[in-house]
C-alpha cells in the first residue's frame, strides 16, 4: 500500500474543492452514512445508507441502502479509500439525487484538505458538507454553550471548519466544507436541519443503517470456529 500515492490523490482532490455557494437552491438534503459487519476485520461486509429529507419540513422523501464488501483497512486520515467506493455505488444506484449531501465525516478539515465529504463531492460533482461527531483537525476556542454558538476550526491561520452547537449544553459537532458550498451556508443548513445533536439527514441515515445491520446479523449470525 503506497500511502504517499494516496496522499497525492488527496492533495489533488483538495485543489479541486470549491469553497463557495455553487448552486441555485437547496430543497432536498441527503444524509450518507456507512457501517460494517465487523469494524476490526478486513475484508468485511458493509452497508451504506442515504436518507433524503425536505428542507422545508424535515420529512423523509427517499431512503436507500446498498451492501458491499470493504477491503481497504482502517487508517486514520485515509477514510475515503475505505468507505468511498460503497458510497459511490449508493450514489450511482439512488433513484433520487438530493440537492446537497451531508456526509458523516470531514470535508476540508483534514490534514491534506480532502476528507471523505470533499472526496465524495469532487468525485460526483455534488454539493457536500462534512458533518462529524469528533474533531480530526484544527483547533478552536471560546465556544459557547447555546444552540447556534460556533467557533472556527483553525490551522496555521486558516479556517478549515467550525465546532457548532446544535443543542444547548450539548457536545459540538464539527462542520466543514465538502464541495461547492461556503462554510457560512453549511453552518446555516446544519442548524436548520438539527432537532437533536446530529442533523436529521445523517441521524436518520445512521438509524436506518443500524436497523438494517441488526436485521442482517439476526438472519446471518457470525460463526465462531
User: What is the structure's pLDDT at 220?
Assistant: 66
Average pLDDT, the chain: 94
User: Does any domain span residue 88?
Assistant: yes
User: Does any domain span residue 92?
Assistant: yes
User: Does any domain span residue 205?
Assistant: yes
User: What is the structure's pLDDT at 192?
Assistant: 98
Q: For the chain, first and last CA: distance in Å?
A: 30
> What is the pTM for the complete model shown?
0.93
Please name the residue ranges forming H helices in the chain. 3-16, 79-93, 116-124, 183-192, 200-219
Total number of domains in the chain: 1
User: Does any domain span residue 3?
Assistant: no
Q: How many CB atoms lie within 10 A of CB 207?
A: 14
Per-residue model confidence as pLDDT tens digits over 40-76:
888 999 999 999 999 999 999 999 999 999 999 999 9
User: Does any domain span residue 167?
Assistant: no
User: What is the structure's pLDDT at 40?
Assistant: 81
- Domain containing 56 equals 13-132+174-219
User: Does any domain span residue 156?
Assistant: no
CATH for 80: 3.30.2170.10
Per-residue model confidence as pLDDT tens digits over 102-120:
999 999 999 999 999 999 9
Q: What angle do CA 37, 116, 136 make, to 5 degrees?
A: 95
User: What is the structure's pLDDT at 41?
Assistant: 85
Q: Is the peptide bond before 43 cis (omega within 30 degrees of 0)?
A: yes
Q: How far apart are CA 32 and CA 16, in angstroms?
A: 22
Q: Is the pLDDT of residue 85 over 50?
A: yes
Please name the residue ranges forming H helices in 41-148. 79-93, 116-124
Q: How far apart are CA 96 and CA 52, in angstroms?
A: 8
Q: Is the pLDDT of residue 223 over 70?
A: no
User: Does any domain span residue 1?
Assistant: no
CA distances in angstroms from 82 to 20, 65, 187, listed in the order given? 28, 17, 27
Q: How far apart are CA 193 and CA 148, in angstroms?
A: 12
What share of the chain has pLDDT > 90, as a percent? 89
Per-residue model confidence as pLDDT tens digits over 2-33:
999 999 999 999 999 999 999 999 999 999 99
User: Does any domain span residue 166?
Assistant: no
Amino acid at each position: 500500500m503506497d500511502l504517499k500515492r494516496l496522499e497525492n490523490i488527496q492533495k489533488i482532490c483538495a485543489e479541486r474543492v470549491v469553497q463557495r455557494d455553487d448552486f441555485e437552491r437547496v430543497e432536498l438534503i441527503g444524509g450518507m452514512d456507512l457501517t460494517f459487519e465487523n469494524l476490526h476485520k478486513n475484508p468485511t461486509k458493509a452497508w451504506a445508507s442515504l436518507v433524503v429529507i425536505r428542507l422545508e419540513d424535515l420529512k423523509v422523501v427517499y431512503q436507500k441502502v446498498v451492501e458491499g464488501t470493504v477491503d481497504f483497512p482502517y487508517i486514520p486520515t485515509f477514510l475515503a479509500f475505505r468507505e468511498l467506493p460503497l458510497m459511490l455505488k449508493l450514489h450511482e444506484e439512488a433513484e433520487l439525487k438530493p440537492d446537497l449531501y451531508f456526509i458523516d465525516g470531514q470535508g476540508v478539515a483534514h490534514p491534506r484538505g480532502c476528507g471523505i465529504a470533499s472526496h465524495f463531492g469532487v468525485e460526483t460533482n455534488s454539493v457536500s458538507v462534512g458533518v462529524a461527531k469528533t474533531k480530526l483537525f484544527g483547533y478552536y476556542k471560546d465556544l459557547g454553550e447555546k444552540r447556534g454558538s460556533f467557533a472556527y476550526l483553525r490551522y496555521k491561520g486558516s479556517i478549515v471548519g467550525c465546532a457548532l452547537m446544535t443543542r444547548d449544553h450539548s457536545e459540538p459537532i464539527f462542520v466543514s466544507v465538502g464541495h461547492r458550498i461556503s462554510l457560512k451556508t453549511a453552518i446555516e443548513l446544519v442548524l436548520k436541519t438539527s432537532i437533536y445533536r446530529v442533523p436529521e439527514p445523517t441521524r436518520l441515515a445512521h438509524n436506518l443503517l443500524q436497523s438494517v445491520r441488526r436485521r442482517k446479523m439476526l438472519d446471518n449470525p457470525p460463526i465462531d470456529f
